Structures are given as C-alpha cells and as structure tokens.
Amino acid sequence: MTGAQMHDLVRRLYPLCRSITGDGLRRTLEIIGESISLELTEVPTGTEVLDWTIPREWNIRDAYLKDASGRRVVDFQRSNLHVVGYSGPVEATMSLAELRGHLHTLPDQPDLVPYRTSYYADTWGFCLSQRTLDGLGDGPYEVRIDSTLADGHLTYGEHVVRGRSSAEVLISCHVCHPSLANDNLAGVAVAVALAQRLTDPWYTYRFIFAPGTIGAIAWLALNRGRADRIKHGLTLACAGDGGTIHYKRSRRGDAEIDQVFAHVLKDRPHTLLDFSPYGYDERQYCSPGFNLPVGSLTRTPYGSYPEYHTSADNPDFVLPAAMEDTLETLWSAVRVLEGNRRYQNLSPYGEPQLGRRGLYGSLGGRSDTKQAQMAMLWVLNLSDGTHSLLQIAERSSLPFEALAEAAHVLQSAGLVKEWVG
C-alpha cells in the first residue's frame, strides 16, 4: 500500500459507526478483510474474560434532536459522533433545560463535536458543538435515539503471517472508535500495509484488530495458555498526523522491541517515552500477570493534539506522507527484529586471516569498503554468544544492516555460526 492507498482505506472506514460491539465493528472488520485475510472471533455477551464481562451488543440506526419546525438540529446521519456511544433507546419530547444534562460540548473548542462513550452505564446523550448549543432556543425538542442493547457478541479479527519460527510478533490496533481518522483508523491502515508487505518472515506475525480494552482483554483471556509465544509486540495508533514519531517502552523497559526502536529512531526526530499504565492496549498486554514485551508506536500521542477525540480528527487531518513515514519506521524495526541474531566465532583465538579467504578482496570497489571491513571485525570480536547484532551495532556505532551483511558473509565462509542456546 502507498500512502494514498492507506488514506483511501481511512476514508472508506471513516463513516462507519464503530463501537466495542455491533454491526459497525463487524463491517469494519469485513472491509479490512478485503485487503488481508481475517479470522473472526465472536465472544458472547455475559462471557467472563479475566476480571471483565462481555457487555450487551449495541446497534444504532438513527438519532436526532428536532426543533419545533421539524429541523434536525443534531443529526446522527450527519456525523455518528453526535450520539454518545452505547446510548440506550429514547423517544421523548423535552425542553432544552431538561436536555442539558444529556448534552456534551467542548466550550474551549466551540466549533468541534466531542467524542463521548458510556459503555458500562445505562444512559444516553448527544454530542454537539458549543456554537450549536448556544444557538438553541428553549424548545421543545423531539428527542429520538433508535438503538438497541441486547445479548449478542463482541467481535475481533486476527491476521497471521506464518514465519519459520513459532515465536510471535504482535501488532495490535483498536477498532472501536467511530469517525476518528487518526485515532484509530490511520493505525489500522498502516497495520494492513505492513501485513501485506511481509513475505517469508523469520517470526510469525499476529495482527489483532480488536475493540480497545475489552477486546484486548478478551483476546488475552481466550489465549492465556499461548501468550508466552509473543516475543515482541506493539500497539499502533495515531499513525497519520503531522507530528514526530513517539515510541512508548514496554513495562519491562529494556525488552528487545524497546532496544530496536531506540536504535532505528536514533537518526531522526523522535521521542522515547517510559511505560505508564495508561494509554492504549499496551497496558493490557503489559499487565503484571502477562508482562508481555509490548510497546506502543504513535506519532503525536493520545490526548496531546487538539483534534484528539473530536470531529476535527477527520480524513483531512490524516496525511498520506505521515502514514508512509510511520510504515517505513515500523518496517525498519521489523528488519532489525528479523535479522537480530547472536553468533559464535568458530576461530576465536586471534583474528582469522580474512584475506586468504577472499573476504577482503570481495569488498574491492565498494564505496563502503572500510565500513564493511570494520563490520566483519566487530562481528568476529563480539560473536561469543552473548552479544546480539543489535548490541554490536550500538557498541560499534555501525549500521545494523552492515553488521547483518557481515555476519552472513562470515557464516558463508565458515567463520561464525548462529548461536543456539
């Protein structure tokens, strides 16, 4: 996928009214499934998942506030953000005074509509701009929310790219927000593009598209016995705004995935953040009972840009070039993960004679001859089974790719072998 194609996917998904359950979530997964194969899991209402219970399924068809002339002054058909997520059905006539407790605005951003939800409380409400609210008369208003809350299912999707190893890399995206393009759809589009790019990897890559919090918890509950296969992972969100890359470390703080992102981000504007138990679903994967090595990759982090969780987080806010940049950052990390091995020097007593093996001669004419020679010397010196190529890259200040190539050349010459232990 190019940036333009990722942006097209964001635009296509944007109008759907997603939530933690329901037909909008299923339709979202169905559209993702047109680009990559998805295995869907449906978890019934009432199922206990760790300390949580799968809630009733929510579906909505229409909602509005009509003034006395019959004009829809707030209209779900214009934007699905206008209804508080998980609002129960309502059909009533109310004055503005009676309505006010159910109306949500952003006084400091008077032209924007906020995103609000109420998953686990029986209530209802409308979201509107402060400017719209200020223009409303006393009423009365026809109030209608045509929704249902009934036993059903929570749905999540998985795409697996099988590798030569059963050890897994987890990429997790939340798919529960309605019309919010950066949070969450840009991350979804980047994940789809990465899944399409992977061919014959070393690791097995597991992409999870699940509702936030409860979806990740459901996946962990249903996969508790195999969660230890996850050797590296990250959550992916806010992937398309114009800000710089931010990487939030896993709970472990020094997991290999943390080291990889610190390495690949060194030569570009970025921010490394320490773990905190707040944010996206990294806090579920990193909960102490699982303590999985899962970080979080965003551009501008959640809550740190004025468009966050408002109607301004629309497809025009998301930049194709920014999504391409996020994808390439992620791809750089994947390449390091895939190539990061430990080796054993098979001729560790003194420096082996590289010239008679033709290794120096094979470098003739290259513009990076000196770097390639130094890469071979560093790999030979630190290939004692305790240093990974990433650690050698950090210590030598040489590019990881140069060290990976040197290791391949030395292995072909019978001077090193991959460390098993």
The annotated binding site is made up of: 177, 183, 309
The two most distant CA atoms of the chain are separated, in Å, by: 93
Q: Do 204 and 169 contact (CB within 8 A), yes or no?
A: yes
Helix (H) or strand (E) holding 27: helix 23-32
Closest CA to 128 of 297, 310, 263, 290: 310
Helix axes 320-339, 3-13, angle to 10 degrees: 110
**What secondary structure does DSSP assign to 82-105, as a single string?**
GB-BTPPPEEEEE-HHHHGGGEE-
Task: Tell me the sheet residues that pair with 161.
Answer: 205
CA distance 54 to 397: 50
Task: Tell me the sheet residues that pair with 142.
Answer: 66, 93
Tokens of 361: 């001669």
Instruction: Point out the annotated binding site for Zn(2+).
Output: 177, 183, 309
CA distance 84 to 328: 36
